[in-house]
Amino acid sequence: MSQDAELYPTPDNPLPGKATVGHFQGADGRRLRYAVFRGEVGPVRGTVVLLHGRNEAIEKYFELIGGFLQRGLWVATFDWRGQGASDRLIERLPRRGHVRRFADYERDLEAFLEQVVLPDTRLPFFLLGHSMGGLVALSQAPKLSGRIDRMVLSAPFVALGGQALNEGRVVALAGTASLLGFGTFPLTRDRGPRPFSANPLTSDPLRFARGEGLAEAHPHLALGPPSARWLYETLSAMRRVRRQEHLTAITIPTLILAPTRDPLVPYAALEALAAQFRACTLIPIVGARHEVLQEADRYRDQALAAIEAFFPGSVDSGLPQQIEEATAV
């Protein structure tokens, strides 16, 4: 483990506080960038292990991290292999989102816990995973009992949205491409930046612009389309975590934040998952899009209130079972 990495703030996305930044050694020796943020508000209530989605980096979560620090929570987070400022997997194509095995993500999470979180942060440990990060957390959750006290999943990537996309066909196509030696090839083209009006992620123009500005100022942090192998491995993991025997093995109290206007992960899929998952409570965020934690305040504040109620206390005391859509101000 080394402290030879840096963070990349921008004028509208400043550092949230003091951080220890470096690299730890992931599965198969990959250098993965991490950061630990320690707040100055005491007493320390614990540490949030923050797991990003695909094509995200530590910098995207500065605003969220700052809020946790103000509430007495430390934050430990890292860039997944192949994205952010961690080692890319295809040297000639650094923008290609790729992974050889989904299990590599799980092994990287284990390495992060052992090398960074356990020795350098404060108990208790809470996990917050968004989208792909939520999928990795769900997949690894049966092995996390005894280390992670509570888990929040924001729009976890457990099903494929879009009427034009058939999950089975995508798995078959991506698997065939991998078998034929085309696993590093994309199945979609790189569309580049998209206008706010066409984005499926957030209804907040300022947070959307901040994310686009980060990618423009520091393009080495961004990704293009995923590879066929990434699609095959990730969609196969989706199917695995939806199985009843897998969900039954999860004993960590879990909260799912489920945006109802998410075109990437169907709300119905999250509702069905939670219904089979004894340790889980689902909170619909009515009207929100995929990136609940980057959404307009009328949605984001509801998600943060649910997280605040869930991490230190009991999901059975005072946590609403449904959050209705707020009127825009």
Identify which has the larger pLDDT, 65 or 162: 65
> What mean pLDDT is predicted for residues 281-285?
98
- Is residue 146 very low, low, confident or very high in pLDDT (cuts 50, 70, 90)? very high
So what's the pLDDT on residue 58? 99
Q: Where are the domains of the chain?
A: 19-310
Torsion from C-alpha of 99, 103, 107, 110, nearest 10 degrees: 120
How do residues 37-51 score in pLDDT, each as one tens digit? Answer: 999 877 899 999 999
- Confidence category of residue 238, pLDDT binned at 50, 70, 90: very high
pLDDT number for residue 163:
54
Q: Which helix (H) or strand (E) holds 253?
A: none
Mean pLDDT along residues 5-16: 95
Task: Give tens-digit pLDDT for 315-328.
Answer: 343 444 444 443 33
- Binned at pLDDT 50, 70 and 90, residue 164 comes out as low
**Distances from the Cα of 154 to the Cα of 27, 56, 136, 194, 284, angstroms:** 25, 14, 12, 23, 11
SS3 197: helix
Residue 271 exposure: Cα atoms within 13 Å on the Cβ side: 11
User: Is the model's pLDDT at 96 over the cut of 80?
Assistant: yes
> Tens digit of pLDDT for each residue in 195-229?
998 899 999 999 999 999 999 999 999 999 999 99
The vertex-311 CA angle with 307 and 313, nearest 5°, equals 115
- 312 to each of 48, 129, 197, 248, how far by Cα in Å? 11, 17, 38, 24
pLDDT in tens, 112-128: 999 999 999 999 999 99
Supply the pLDDT for residue 192: 72
Under CATH, which number does the domain 19-310 receive? 3.40.50.1820
pLDDT at residue 173 tops 60: yes
Token digits for 60? 């995207």
